[in-house]
Structure 1
Amino acid sequence: MAENDDRFDEDRENVDNLERLLARAEEDDSEGDEEAEVTSASSTIEEETDVDHVISEEERARSLIVDMPNPHGSIIEGANGGEGTTVRAAFLGKEMQSSFLEYSMSVIVSRALPDVRDGLKPVHRRILYAMNESGYTPNKPHMKSARTVGDVIGKYHPHGDSAVYDTMVRLAQPFSMRLPLIDGHGNFGSIDGDSAAAMRYTEARLDKAAMELLRDLEKETVDFQPNYDESLQEPKVLPARFPNLLVNGSNGIAVGMATNIPPHNLGESIDATCLMLDNPDVTTEELLQVMPGPDFPTGGIITGRQGILDAYETGHGNLTVRAKCSIEERKNGRYSIVVKEIPYMVNRKRLLEKLGELVRDKKLPEISNIHDAADRHGIDIIIDLKSNAVPQVVLNKLYKHTQLQTGFGMNMLALVENTPRLLTLKEILYYYIEHQKDVVTRRTRYELARAEERAHILDGYIVALDNIDEVISIIRSSQTDKEAAKRLTSRFGLSKKQTDAILEMRLRRLTGLEREKIEEELAELREKIAYYKRVLADEREVRLIIKEELQDVKKRYGTPRRTRITAEAKEIDVEDLIADENMVITMTKAGYIKRLPVTTYRQQKRGGKGMQGVNLKESDFVEHLFVASNHSYMLFFSTAGKVYRLKAYEIPEASRHARGTAIVNLLPLMKGETISAVIATKEFPENEFLMFATEQGMVKKTAMKQFANIRKDGLIAINLRDDDHLIAVRRVAQGQKVIMVSSAGKAIMWDEEEARAMGRDTMGVRGMTVPADAHVLGMEIARPDTDLFVITEKGFGKRTPVSEYPCHHRGGQGVYTITMTQKKGLLSVMKIVGPEDEIMIISEEGVVVRTPVSGISELGRSTQGVCVMKVADKDRVVAVAISSTGKKRKAKTAEEGADIDKEEMEELEAESEAGALGEDDLD
């Protein structure tokens, strides 16, 4: 033992000396004395180790092969056939380069990157193929997952069982795959990050969609290759009858590169493929029309389309994905943020832990509590806010500090002919279509060969049946099968296959009925053969087949889009989280404002008692009630003549019984300043104006475009006298009529041209003259074929056609519009209504009645009116709003929510009135 150790040490010392000399020789780039020393050292080692190996002059400075015995005394056979271990001295840099290149290519091609044709990595493909070969199909019972994992490892994928099982689990998770390929039975994990149960407990089988990837595999549609030990064959790629790379996406980290392709909607991906089938030169913008972007299985919101466009055109782009959240008011008047959907690949349990950390660290002091409301119906996270919290601000902080907003870097890298390539959307579709062309062509050739083979046999049957007596005679007179076959072939010119088929034919095939079946089958086969040949001769037929089969897959497995895509990517995009629906907005005398859906109030007949619309403090009453879209701009005009602006959704939503939020918390109002009029609009057209009216009868007309940009602290809208107040603001267009009504029961109508357009910082002109003990109640735009509706404090009202009011010059006192009595009370409100309108009437105590205008009597100017609303003794009518035009609406889907047709909304906006009414439409 000691002798062997000494010899090994000597050999090692010689090798070290040789390596030092080699390094010095390469550094000095000389071949002088060093080369001689290298040769000497080489000779010495060869003598001492007894190696029969000749080193050429060219290799002497580069490598040295040394056989050394095992230091422990055992002899190891070397690569050269002698005793000992083969040692090769090589340059480490080049060795690492070549070895690492081989390793990296193996990882890239065989493990980490998907194939562009079927969108699968080798492990995915082998799992699906192994399950299909073992018969674990959708029409069979579930089988133990361990059995599938064993089949995959033993036959095709000799790697760790946990890696294979984890891959199999992901293929069955509906929150990971947009179209799951495996139907799992048991615990396959959760969106909370819970791991799946052990493979011995779970069961699985192929999902129906996976069969579309495997369909026609047996028809020689793809190439096969030997498995790792060459005992079996496995497919190089699956036929993939839908674009799986887009539908389920892929992510993987290779060596020096990575792929991250998001999932897409199946129906949209198929539509994009069909669009490119019809027009190979289709542009990316045209593809975006049918496939607007990724569609994550967990839903969420993608903010901005630029990242999608970049990825589709270059292969790389960055997306911002947000959770779907809603702001809800609780019974205690506080608000909660309800998270209904989270971004893709976000661990919900870790998200809850992060929220808890932020609350404990006081980074989100506005949050009072967090509830996990997940159940079988959803994964809601309820975030309760404190009473003074502004929900939109808290939501923005959540986006900034948590995974409620994440980035998704699209990197569409895939294998094209075993070469990694960064692909555009058009290239992915192109290679998929080329693959489908190849699949359909090979399948057609396979079916053509089988059809021709079967037709050939049937032709032989027909010959035999036509000469049945002679055939039977030949067979009976033959001593052996070979002799019979030879004689039949010689006599009738049959092939060997035809002869064998005739000899094996049963006697029952000799009946007349069987002959007819053979002839029918042969006719059908000849039609199929002609069709197959036509398909193989015409690429357009191939494209048509691909398109038809894709549409069939879409019909059977297509689902609605889950992920919303907003128009622009913004840091704060609250509007995209709020449905564009019409809301009822109320504001009390004390300055409490709220919004709630119009559907809260049910329709009633004339004279109804109404329902409680709001709980108010003592001596408080509702002063303004109007209707507006959530996305409309709300222009608030104060009694001091200033204008402020909010979006409708910025007004906190509240329940029917809630008081609402103080307007001073939303607008920077001065002491004693209150809101007297509100305008709701989405645009500021140049050809429209705002008409202002004051309590003392002054009017002013100003272009709407002057209110397009308003500071947070407001702007001056009209100059007022010290003892005057702004009472009404209306949108007015050229040629319209203006009607004003005073508390004295008189009305005056005049043309809008009577008031010339002025700037904002002006006082205006006289619109109506009123007595000293009276004041102007309101001002409206008198549209043709409409009525003037007036109502007293006790709920008695009527409507009179505007055509009964003479048109005067502005500045007059007007004519009587109602006969007032002490029983019916003073005139309270005036409105212009149409015959199909509905109105909402609200009293000082908050009682609301919604009734159609058609149920209110149409009377002359000098009449008293009828009971429109029953008002309690100590109550009085304070506000009226038009709630609906009565027009029919299109059907609303679950995705559309309360949205109405865009053109219809634009039409309603054009007809919308100012003041208490923002937009005419509610439904």
Structure 2
Amino acid sequence: MSRSPSMPPAASTERIEDVDVSVEMQGSFLEYAYSVIYSRALPDARDGLKPVQRRILYQMSEMGLRPDRGHVKSARVVGEVMGKLHPHGDTAIYDAMVRMAQAFSLRVPLIDGHGNFGSLDDGPAAPRYTEARLAAPALAMTENLDEDVVDFVPNYDNQLTQPDVLPAAYPNLLVNGASGIAVGMATNMAPHNLIEVVGAARHLLTYPDASLEHLMEFIPGPDLPTGGTIVGLAGIKDAYLTGRGSFKTRARVSVEAISARKTGLVVTELPYLVGPEKVIEKIKDGVNSKKLSGISDVTDLTDRTKGLRLVIGIKTGFSPDAVLEQLYRYTPLEDSFNINAVALVEGAPQTLGLRELLLVYVNHRIAVVTRRSAYRLARRKERLHLVEGLLVAIVDIDEVIQVIRASDDTEQARLRLIDVFDLSQVQAEYILELRLRRLTRFSRIELEAERDQLLAEIAALEKLLSSTGAIRNLVSEELAAVADKFGTPRRTVLTEAKPSIAGVSAAAAKRNAAVLEVQDIPTRIFLSCTGRIARVDLLVENESQPQRIVPPQRRSKHDAVLSSLETTSRTEVGAVTNRGRLIRFSPVDLPVMPPTSIQLAAGVRVVDYLVLGRDERVLALVSLETERAIALGTRQGIVKRVTPGDWANRPDFEIIALKPKDEVVGAAQGADDDELVFVASDSQLLHFSAAGVRPQGRAAGGMAGIKLAAGTSVVFFTSLSVGDAESAVVATVAIGSEVLLLPDFGSTKVSDFSEYPAKGRATGGVRSQRFLKGEDAISVAWVGPAPARAVAPDGTARALPESGSRRDASGVMLDAIIGAIGAQI
């Protein structure tokens, strides 16, 4: 019914009070700050857990999600925790749950997650897609909760209770660390190794007055889940002393040959909470902004089998160690970790050093064991009291039954049992509830055995509770058992800081940029007859005479030299192949042999160092920094000279147009007064002046070099300088083309090059070796400075006869095959 306008208004129930806004805001803010500090952001120093983490573990324990049970949906766990214990929202609960399941976040994960729980670069899947259960170490955090070891407090709506702190069978705060931002304060603590932390805690139990120095003998520094290297230990000691400090973590990086021609930095461990995608992004930004140099590419080869593997390619000519120092300065490969050890102690936030953290935990554990022992003692005394009453009843069982039958009701029976048998009310009540099947002779024996056992246990517990030292020993033994069960070896390496670009100013780093590049020093490159390539850095006598180079000592006992070239380590040179290609490369990444002991077998296979086609071989090394022409000889007797030109930005190119089925058999670089030498398979040797062959362009096909008989081909070609020609020798190996029943390795001879007269270009030359019976072809030939060196196909040395034979004489029979002939080093 509507009210008439003439009716008076109803009495108002509103109450308006005037308050000072500043006072109200101050009080409200303090309440909010206290709630955040105590109920959300900071861990308890005893169990190292924030309230949400503690509630998750407790609720999962109540749900029976043990390691031997199946996983359940994470959404179910989140719902149970939110509905019963933690009313702050599902996102906060799931985020805390995910972190406790991540092996890269916690040193000892507390939750066994199934599904996508995220990575260092990506977040986890939604809780409806993942499953979880408690990990085995979580059982050590929640064990004995049913034995009155900790206080229980009401939940948010006073309907249920929850533990104020977990028993924590190991120092979780130190082992797994913590991070959180409260109001006006924050905490950030690094993970440590469980075995080391337990060792320190046990030492403190034995020696309560132990100093920080003694404790650091057990805990030298943090042990991060992702490994890495900690450089500089001064900040760690500061943090252990005052609760505040910092240290630098570095990735674990090794310099490896990612291919025969390319060196790279391989990252297998990253600093704590740094993901590979973040590193790659920073490297790309640094390269684009010109802060980083010497990096060619970055490849992430991480997989579940091999783990983290980040490959950073280094450009030719740059020092990997120097590039790594740059990466430490400008990328998260080196990261800082600031320790701010703030935790709740008796409900108040405190900044704690290492000794204080261990002391709080040790005292907590002593209290847990004491309360557990007292609880067990009380339960055993209660049970002993009942067992003694049962024994009285069994001894006089007939009278007990008579008393009960003669009673009108249960209350009368209870009172009569107490009066007749001198029992307590609890004993009488227990006898009344006794089942008849317990009234056997065997049950009496069991009860007597149980009584004796209870008496022994009660005595042991009373002795334990009467001795503080015994309790401390028991705590120490239980800690040792936990360490044996869950402890793992240290992952993080601790080192003192070494000098790096990261420690200097930006201006100084710019001045030191030249250090990134490998020094350009004189070197000699060797190409062996078996296809291996290496270099020897030549030694300079003194700085005042930089052009006088000390030649390397010749101690090679394996292989022979097909071609060699003196250059510098950063100068580009060319490799001429049998396909008529010239491939440019820098010798900076070649294996370096010591000048005192050159072993060509230590070199890298040239097919691995250069990109070669099928059946393509490198025949000679040439300089691209000179105008001396490159002379080429082909299998079909063609000769060509080509002068190095402007070949910039061309990694490889053809320097002769070959006819079908033709290939280059030899190449050498020389002057116009050099002698060009051909050796044909029919033993004909021809040499003529290089001046008779005019240089041509790259696309030319050359001109006639030697006139070949039908069915023959060129087996060797070279260019000899005037000085080398005077002391040169000719070494040849003759074989037969028919297969014989007996082993026949052919014959060989060595003669002086001076015995061979020069002929005109495009003529047939003169005979270099007379064939023996059954021989019809030259398989191997070589012309060059004495002494010649013969090797087997695998590079093993073979003996050659002394030089001095007539040019057309026959050879000496061989007892082993000769695969190639070349020069000695």
Whether TM exceeds 0.5 here: the answer is: yes
Post-superposition shift, 1:495? 0.8
Q: Which residue of 1 aligns with 2:69?
A: 140
Structure 1 residues 417 and 320 mapped into 2: Cα distance closer, same or farther (>3 Å)? Answer: same
Post-superposition shift, 1:186? 1.2
Post-superposition shift, 1:613? 11
Q: Which residue of 1 aligns with 2:212?
A: 284
CA–CA distance in structure 2, aligned partners of residues 493 and 537 of structure 1:
32
SS of structure 1 residue aligned to 2:444: helix
Structure 1 residues 661 and 491 mapped into 2: Cα distance closer, same or farther (>3 Å)? Answer: farther
SS of structure 2 residue aligned to 1:321: strand
CA–CA distance in structure 1, aligned partners of residues 144 and 544 of structure 2:
74
Q: Which residue of 2 aligns with 1:681?
A: none
CA contact (8 A) 2:293 2:323 kept: no
Q: Which residue of 1 aligns with 2:265?
A: 337
User: Partner amino acid for 1:532?
Assistant: L
CA–CA distance in structure 2, aligned partners of residues 312 and 330 of structure 1:
42
CA–CA distance in structure 1, aligned partners of residues 529 and 382 of structure 2:
83
Q: Which of 350, 367, 370 is the equivalent residue of 1:438?
A: 367
Q: Which of 335, 354, 370 is the equivalent residue of 2:298?
A: 370
Q: Between Structure 1 and Structure 2, whose CA radius of gyration is higher?
A: 2
CA contact (8 A) 2:792 2:818 kept: no
CA contact (8 A) 1:305 1:569 kept: no
Unaligned runs of 5+ in 1: 1-72, 575-587, 594-610, 624-635, 645-655, 667-673, 679-842, 850-869, 879-923
Indicate whether 1:102 and 2:28 are aligned: no
* Alignment map for 1:70-81 (pairs within 5 Å): none
* Alignment map for 1:569-718 (pairs within 5 Å): 570-571=499-500, 590=523, 615-616=532-533
Q: Which residue of 2 aligns with 1:599?
A: none
Post-superposition shift, 1:211? 1.0
CA–CA distance in structure 2, aligned partners of residues 87 and 474 of structure 1:
73
Q: Which residue of 2 aligns with 1:121?
A: 50
* Cα deviation digits, residues 337-359 of structure 1 (max 9, x gap): 11111111123322222222222
Structure 1 residues 501 and 846 mapped into 2: Cα distance closer, same or farther (>3 Å)? Answer: same
Post-superposition shift, 1:214? 0.5
* Cα deviation digits, residues 596-628 of structure 1 (max 9, x gap): xxxxxxxxxxxxxxx9999236xx8x79xxxxx
Structure 1 residues 341 and 844 mapped into 2: Cα distance closer, same or farther (>3 Å)? Answer: farther
Post-superposition shift, 1:115? 0.3
CA contact (8 A) 2:524 2:565 kept: no
Indicate whether 1:503 and 2:432 are aligned: yes
Q: Which residue of 1 aligns with 2:310?
A: 381
Indicate whether 1:404 and 2:321 are aligned: no
CA contact (8 A) 1:171 1:181 kept: yes
Indicate whether 1:301 and 2:229 are aligned: yes
SS of structure 1 residue aligned to 2:308: strand
Structure 1 residues 542 and 499 mapped into 2: Cα distance closer, same or farther (>3 Å)? Answer: same
* Cα deviation digits, residues 245-289 of structure 1 (max 9, x gap): 001100011111110001111111111111111111222222222
SS of structure 2 residue aligned to 1:546: helix
Post-superposition shift, 1:202? 1.2
User: Partner amino acid for 2:167?
Assistant: P
Post-superposition shift, 1:395? 0.5
Post-superposition shift, 1:162? 1.1
Q: Which residue of 1 aligns with 2:489?
A: 560
SS of structure 2 residue aligned to 1:388: coil
Q: Which of 346, 349, 353 is the equivalent residue of 2:274?
A: 346
SS of structure 2 residue aligned to 1:335: strand
Indicate whether 1:530 and 2:433 are aligned: no
CA contact (8 A) 1:637 1:677 kept: no
CA contact (8 A) 1:318 1:408 kept: yes
* Alignment map for 1:31-430 (pairs within 5 Å): 82-84=12-14, 86-90=16-20, 92-192=21-121, 194-376=122-304, 377-430=306-359
CA–CA distance in structure 1, aligned partners of residues 132 and 166 of structure 2:
20
Structure 1 residues 186 and 664 mapped into 2: Cα distance closer, same or farther (>3 Å)? Answer: closer
Q: Which residue of 1 aligns with 2:408?
A: 479
* Cα deviation digits, residues 764-816 of structure 1 (max 9, x gap): xxxxxxxxxxxxxxxxxxxxxxxxxxxxxxxxxxxxxxxxxxxxxxxxxxxxx
Indicate whether 1:549 and 2:478 are aligned: yes
RMSD of aligned alpha carbons: 3.7
Unaligned runs of 5+ in 2: 1-7, 504-520, 547-557, 572-592, 598-790, 798-816
CA contact (8 A) 1:304 1:570 kept: no
User: Partner amino acid for 2:135?
Assistant: D
Q: Percent identity?
A: 44
* Alignment map for 1:736-885 (pairs within 5 Å): none
CA contact (8 A) 1:136 1:206 kept: yes
Structure 1 residues 438 and 333 mapped into 2: Cα distance closer, same or farther (>3 Å)? Answer: same
Structure 1 residues 876 and 484 mapped into 2: Cα distance closer, same or farther (>3 Å)? Answer: farther
Q: Which residue of 1 aligns with 2:625?
A: none
Structure 1 residues 873 and 154 mapped into 2: Cα distance closer, same or farther (>3 Å)? Answer: closer
CA–CA distance in structure 2, aligned partners of residues 477 and 267 of structure 1:
67
Post-superposition shift, 1:112? 0.8
Q: Which residue of 2 aligns with 1:33?
A: none
Post-superposition shift, 1:482? 2.3
Q: How many residues align?
A: 553
CA–CA distance in structure 2, aligned partners of residues 306 and 402 of structure 1:
23
User: Partner amino acid for 1:145?
Assistant: S
User: Partner amino acid for 1:615?
Assistant: R
TM value normalised by structure 2:
0.62
Structure 1 residues 310 and 450 mapped into 2: Cα distance closer, same or farther (>3 Å)? Answer: same
CA contact (8 A) 2:793 2:820 kept: no
CA contact (8 A) 1:302 1:565 kept: yes
CA–CA distance in structure 2, aligned partners of residues 249 and 312 of structure 1:
13
* Cα deviation digits, residues 677-732 of structure 1 (max 9, x gap): 69xxxxxxxxxxxxxxxxxxxxxxxxxxxxxxxxxxxxxxxxxxxxxxxxxxxxxx
Post-superposition shift, 1:419? 0.6
Post-superposition shift, 1:433? 0.5
CA contact (8 A) 2:205 2:476 kept: yes
Post-superposition shift, 1:158? 0.9
Structure 1 residues 327 and 315 mapped into 2: Cα distance closer, same or farther (>3 Å)? Answer: same
CA contact (8 A) 2:230 2:492 kept: yes
CA contact (8 A) 1:284 1:425 kept: yes
Structure 1 residues 483 and 84 mapped into 2: Cα distance closer, same or farther (>3 Å)? Answer: closer
User: Partner amino acid for 1:218?
Assistant: D
User: Partner amino acid for 2:95?
Assistant: D
Post-superposition shift, 1:408? 0.4
Structure 1 residues 592 and 436 mapped into 2: Cα distance closer, same or farther (>3 Å)? Answer: farther
Structure 1 residues 477 and 87 mapped into 2: Cα distance closer, same or farther (>3 Å)? Answer: closer
SS of structure 2 residue aligned to 1:239: coil
Post-superposition shift, 1:479? 3.1
SS of structure 1 residue aligned to 2:301: strand
User: Partner amino acid for 2:178?
Assistant: S
